[in-house]
Structure 1
C-alpha cells in the first residue's frame, strides 16, 4: 500500500507537468520571451512521454489503493492524507508550467500562483501531515475508546 500511495502522490505532479507542455506565448521565438523562471531544457515530446508514463503509474497506484481500501487492506481514513497530497501534486505540476511560461513582459500568472497558491498548498500539506501523524499514532481499531469521547467521527484523545 505504501508504494501504491507513493506512486499516486509522486506520479500526479509529473503527469500534470509532462502532459501540460510548455506554455509559451505564441508568435515570438523562445529566445525573445521573458521568463519568471527558466524552464528545464527538455523537449515537449520527452516531457509528454514522461508525463504519460507517470499518469499510468499514478493510475495503477490509485487502482491498487482503491482495491486495498475495499478489501480492508488499507484504512479508508488514509484517503484524508492522500487526497490533499494529490491536490498539492497537481498544483505543483501545473504551477511549474505557469512559473516557467514564456511571455512578453511580466508573468502575472506566476505572481498570482505564488501569492495564492503557496498558502493553499502549505495548508493542504500541513493538513495531510497532521492527519497522517494522527492516524499513525492511533491504534487501528481505536475510535475514541481509550478514555476519550467521540467527536464527529474523530477520536478526541481524552478531551
Structure 2
C-alpha cells in the first residue's frame, strides 16, 4: 500500500463503521416497551428505525463488518511493510471511535418507548464530548503525519554541500 492510497482506505472505513455498529448493537427498546408493543400499544420513537428486511439487514451488516476488517487489514499490511506511517492508526482509531459512537447513538435514538426517550436527550448532550474525545487520536496522528511530511520535504529541498 502506498501512502497516497491511505485516504482511499479510510473513506470506506468511515462509511462502514457506523453501519457495522448499528448491525452489531441490538435494538435498545426495553422489555416493558416490547411487552406493550406486543399488546398493541404504539411506541414513540425519536427517529423511526430503518429496516430493509431481515435478510437485507443481515447482508448489509455483514458487508459493513467485512469492509471494516479489510480496511484495517490493509492498514496493518502497509504498516508492517513500512510503506505508510504508523501515525495513520490514530486517524483510523478516531474513525472507529466516532463511527461506533454514531452507530450507538442511532440505536439509542431509534429505541421505542412510551413517552420521552431520555437516552436520546442524554446522547445529544454527551455527543460533543464523546466525539471530541474520539477525534483526539486522529488529530494527534494528523500532526505527526504532517510533521513527518514537512521534514521529508525540507530535507529533499535542502541543497547538498560539498566537503
Q: Which interval holds the TM-score relative to the shorter structure?
A: 0.7 to 0.9
Residue 57 (structure 1) aligns with: 67
- Which 5+ residue runs of structure 1 have no aligned equivalent? 147-159
CA distance in structure 2 between the partners assigned to 1:84 and 1:68 by the alignment: 18
Deviant stretches of 4+, over 4 Å:
none
CA RMSD of the aligned region, Å? 2.8
Question: Could you tell me how far 1:68 is from its partner in structure 2?
Answer: 0.5
- Count of matched residue positions in the alignment of Structure 1 and Structure 2: 144
Q: Which has the larger radius of gyration?
A: 2
Corresponding position: 1:138 with 2:143: no
Contact 2:17 2:96 in 1 (8 A): yes
- Which position in structure 1 is the counterpart of 2:28? 23
Structure 2: gaps (5+ residues): 1-5, 156-163
Q: Which has the higher helix share?
A: 2
Match of 2:96 in 1: 86
Once residues 46 and 21 of structure 1 are traced to their aligned partners in structure 2, the CA distance between those partners, rounded to angstroms, is: 16
How many angstroms apart in 2 are the aligned matches of 1:44 and 1:121? 30
Distance, in Å, in 2 between the alignment partners of 1:48 and 1:19 is 10
**Is 1:9 matched up with 2:14?**
yes
Q: Which has the higher strand share?
A: 1
Asked if the contact 1:15–1:52 (Cα under 8 Å) also holds between the matched residues in 2, the reply is: yes
Higher RCO structure (Cα 8 Å, ≥6 apart): 2
